[in-house]
A and B are shown apart, each in its own frame.
Chain A
Amino acid sequence: DAKTTQPPSMDCAEGRAANLPCNHSTISGNEYVYWYRQIHSQGPQYIIHGLKNNETNEMASLIITEDRKSSTLILPHATLRDTAVYYCIVSGVDYKLSFGAGTTVTVRA
């Protein structure tokens, strides 16, 4: 399975955009990039996923580089409720989602 690398933590000011990077240099052609977040003591919440095109939904935008070796999740206007651990995951064989350490995002007022 392709592994991902994310910074362990980042701070963001409330109301500003939060840009979360993820490296997945060993991704293969048919593997998707998924983003989930987990707020303390809850199950992971789906944010967005993509294959090679940029994607946008009501929660976030996903920018995938042309070589697909990295991506960026953009939360356009961070709020205090966006404080969570964000996981970038590449779908592996048998369609399993294997979680890495993620990025702990703290949104500050």
Chain B
Amino acid sequence: GAVVSQHPSRVICKSGTSVKIECRSLDFQATTMFWYRQFPKQSLMLMATSNEGSKATYEQGVEKDKFLINHASLTLSTLTVTSAHPEDSSFYICSASKGGGYTFGSGTRLTVV
């Protein structure tokens, strides 16, 4: 079946630094990748949609300069949280899509101290 690998699974960083999260589709080429954020006891919130080789489309209220998305190939998308602050602490989850199927990564727990 389709597998999406997300790395790292956990990261702790200092306030003001940047963190990069990788999302890879291991056994298929994803036409589209999605990034979500989930705060404790809340549902997943879609942050942005990215297609290989083009700029990401951000949802309303998501700062594109703070959450940089690079989708360099059909199997790799990265999310960089720039100048992270404690309020960016959250669970970040990626999803890769192909042909109507959506596979999710295992998530990245980001803690900003």
Question: A residues touching B (Cβ–Cβ < 8 Å)?
Answer: 32, 34, 36, 38, 41-46, 49, 87, 91, 94-102
B44 touches A95 (CB 8 A): no
- Chain A residues whose C-beta falls within 8 Å of the C-beta of B102 in the assembled complex: 34, 46, 97
Question: B residues touching A (Cβ–Cβ < 8 Å)?
Answer: 4, 6, 32, 34, 36, 43-46, 49, 57, 91, 93, 95, 97, 100-107, 109
Q: Is the interface of B mostly helix, strand, loop or mixed?
A: strand
A95 touches B43 (CB 8 A): no
CA distance A87 to B40 in the complex (A): 16
B107 touches A99 (CB 8 A): no
Instruction: Report the minimal beta-carbon distance from B99 to chain A, rounded to whole angstroms.
Output: 10
Instruction: Report the minimal beta-carbon distance from B52 to chain A, rounded to whole angstroms.
Output: 15
**Which chain A residue has the least Cβ–Cβ distance from B1?**
A46
3 tightest Cβ-Cβ pairs between the two chains A and B: A43-B104, A99-B44, A99-B43
- Chain A residues whose C-beta falls within 8 Å of the C-beta of B57 in the assembled complex: 94
A96 touches B46 (CB 8 A): yes
CA distance A88 to B102 in the complex (A): 14
Q: A34-B102, A101-B43, A102-B43 are in contact. Are A96 and B107 (CB under 8 A)?
A: no
Q: A41-B91, A43-B107, A97-B34 are in contact. Are A87 and B43 (CB under 8 A)?
A: yes
